[in-house]
């Protein structure tokens, strides 16, 4: 009896290396169906409307589900932005992706719903931020040389807490001083896509005027080192 069972079992075995047909999915054809442009536009709008943070273009293209649909995403985003031209919101592209936001001119009315005062920053904080933005990466000593006064620790801590600056390394010098640079969060808060879009140095304060207790004076450019182009490679 045991010999019959063994023989039967052996007859049912598939030789090693021999494929079993009709049981594995055809991965070559396992792709998502194409999405109609109108539906894809609605999907993009829903994703952006419900997100608290900007969404990167690469992530938005994942919503398309197919490479062919992915090619439509940028065109549909442009269409969505154009459709908002007469509305109270706008679709903008910032450093970390795309997002909907209230138009700046609407903010004065929206503040009635939330009368809490916005955080306000001193002239010294804004001046320090401007130096880091335009001379990055810089050390604390560099900032002090430019401003002509010592940089209090609370100033840097305030900017770090706001996630506007970060330490990206140390300088190869005695004491290994930390190097400070701006973050993508700063660009997002300024509604900018890259460091190249930063305004002239004397206009830096006006971009964040809602958070400044007093106008930030223009820095004495005669005391500044030669202008250095921002390192955008780090932001990509």
Read off the pLDDT of residues 34-50 as tens digits, 9 standing for 90 and up. 788 899 999 999 999 99
Q: Cα separation of 77 and 69, whole Å?
A: 13
CA gap 197, 139 in Å, rounded = 23
Q: What pLDDT digit, counting tens, does each position of 70-97 carry?
A: 778 999 999 999 999 899 999 999 989 9
Phi, psi of 165 (to 5 degrees): -135, 160
Distance CA 26, CA 16 (A): 21
| Residue at token pair 């002509």 | 148
Structural domains of the chain, with CATH? 37-110 (1.10.10.10), 123-235 (1.10.10.10)
Cα distances (angstroms) measured from residue 151 to each of 60, 102, 144, 146: 42, 35, 6, 11
Q: Give the per-residue pLDDT at 196.
A: 85
| Spatial separation of the C-alpha atoms in residues 153 and 155, rounded to whole Å | 5
Instruction: Tell which residue, 38, 31, 41, 42, has the closest CA to residue 66.
Output: 31
Distances (CA, A) of 203 to 54, 113, 181, 218: 25, 30, 19, 8
Question: What's the pLDDT tens digit per position in 201-224?
Answer: 556 655 565 433 333 334 443 433
118 pLDDT tier (thresholds 50, 70, 90): low
């Amino acid at each position: 009896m045991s010999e019959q069972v063994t023989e039967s079992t052996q007859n049912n075995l598939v030789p090693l290396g021999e494929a079993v047909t009709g049981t594995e999915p055809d991965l070559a054809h396992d792709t998502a169906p194409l999405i109609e442009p109108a539906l894809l536009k609605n999907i993009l709008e829903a994703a952006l409307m419900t997100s608290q943070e900007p969404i990167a273009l690469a992530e938005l293209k994942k919503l398309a589900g197919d490479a062919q649909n992915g090619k439509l995403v940028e065109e549909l985003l442009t269409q969505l932005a154009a459709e908002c031209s007469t509305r109270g919101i706008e679709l903008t592209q910032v450093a970390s992706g795309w997002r909907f936001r209230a138009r700046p001119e609407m903010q004065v009315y929206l503040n009635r719903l939330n009368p809490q005062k916005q955080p306000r920053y001193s002239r010294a904080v804004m001046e320090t931020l401007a130096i880091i933005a335009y001379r990055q990466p810089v050390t604390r000593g560099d900032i002090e040389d430019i401003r002509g006064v010592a940089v209090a620790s609370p100033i840097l801590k305030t900017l770090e807490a706001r996630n506007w600056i970060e330490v990206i390394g140390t300088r190869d010098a005695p004491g290994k001083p930390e190097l400070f640079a701006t973050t993508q969060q700063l660009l997002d808060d300024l509604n900018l896509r890259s460091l190249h879009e930063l305004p002239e140095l004397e206009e830096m304060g006006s971009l964040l005027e809602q958070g400044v207790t007093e106008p930030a004076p223009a820095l004495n450019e005669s005391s500044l080192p030669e202008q250095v182009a921002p390192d955008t490679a780090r932001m990509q």
